[in-house]
Amino acid sequence: MSDLVTRVREICLAMPGVTEHVSHGTPLFKRGRKAFVQVWPDGHHQNRFPHLWCAAPEGVQELLVAQDSTVYFRPPYVGHRGWVGVDLTAPDWQDVEERIDSAYETVG
């Protein structure tokens, strides 16, 4: 498994009550019964770069995409629920941790 997945896994599993599952062949992290992060190390559909999808509070997706559409995007399937995609090609790990923390709190 890639170093990206290892790093995301370490961040997610350090949080209370988080479990890891496999969904569509990639790691999916849940807080209790609610998914909050999915990592796509080899890309997914039109996004052929490593990235993650994470839950986000209402309005945050639009804000982040407007702020920097080279890093953030509206992911398929879950984007309509406010989730945000984060490009992991050259990750800013502090930002990634903030997105994951926010996702965890969002579903809590």
Instruction: With a cut of 80, say whether residue 2 has pLDDT above it.
Output: no
Per the prediction, the chain carries an average pLDDT of 93
Give the pLDDT confidence of 54-95 residue by residue, as tens digits: 999 999 999 999 999 999 999 988 889 999 999 999 999 999
pLDDT at 93: 96
Identify the band that residue 1 occupies on the pLDDT scale cut at 50, 70 and 90: very low
Pick among 1.10.1200.10, 3.40.718.10, 3.90.1150.30, 3.90.550.10: CATH of 3-88: 3.90.1150.30
Q: Is the pLDDT of residue 13 over 50?
A: yes
Helices 93-107 & 3-13, crossing angle to 10 degrees?
A: 40
Cβ within 8 Å of residue 13, ≥6 positions away? 20, 29
Q: What is the pTM of this model?
A: 0.92
- What pLDDT score does 77 carry? 83
DSSP one-letter code for 82: T
